[in-house]
Amino acid sequence: MLTFRLCVSSILAGKKPAAIPAASEDSFLVATMPPPPPKNEAAPSERDGVIWSPGYWKFVNNWFVWCAGHWELSRPGQSYSAPSWERYADGWHFQPGAWREDGSASKSPKKPGDAGNNVGYDVLGAFR
């Protein structure tokens, strides 16, 4: 509320208010109430080169807002953990989706036709 008053005061005084920095996606969010149960989304069929990230609840201005699932471009040698909420002593913490080193980069099976191709994923796989 104070920020709003400062902006209005600046406008009335003829000055341009300073931009208010938005919270970055990397910073964790803390909610005092638990998120609602996830919505039932039909997961699309698997596709080469992409991984489906399911939808999640995002905490915005003291409200939970649903963010629909989306495709993530797969990364060779890494595994994807979907966005989630975890319970801690001070409330519910949001963990954004992230890629982590898998350690199985050398163990991944080769597909036919990949012998001369240095690209580890099919860039257009999601569109086929």
| pLDDT single digits (tens) 18-43 | 444 444 444 456 788 889 999 998 88
Burial class (CB in 10 A: 0-12, 13-18, 19+), 50: buried
Whose structure tokens read 């509320």? 1
CA angle 26, 31, 35 (to 5 degrees): 100
Tens of pLDDT along the chain (128 residues) come to 555 555 555 555 554 444 444 444 444 567 888 899 999 988 888 888 999 999 999 998 889 999 999 999 999 889 999 999 999 988 899 999 999 988 654 444 445 444 444 455 556 665 65
Question: CA-to-CA distance for 3 and 10, rounded, in angstroms?
Answer: 11
Question: CA-to-CA distance for 86 and 35, rounded, in angstroms?
Answer: 10
| Residue-level pLDDT at 3 | 54
Spatial contact of 57 and 36, defined as CB atoms under 8 Å apart: yes
| Residue-level pLDDT at 85 | 93
The letter for the amino acid at 67 is C
Q: Would you state the structure tokens that stand for residue 62, as one six-digit string?
A: 């003291």
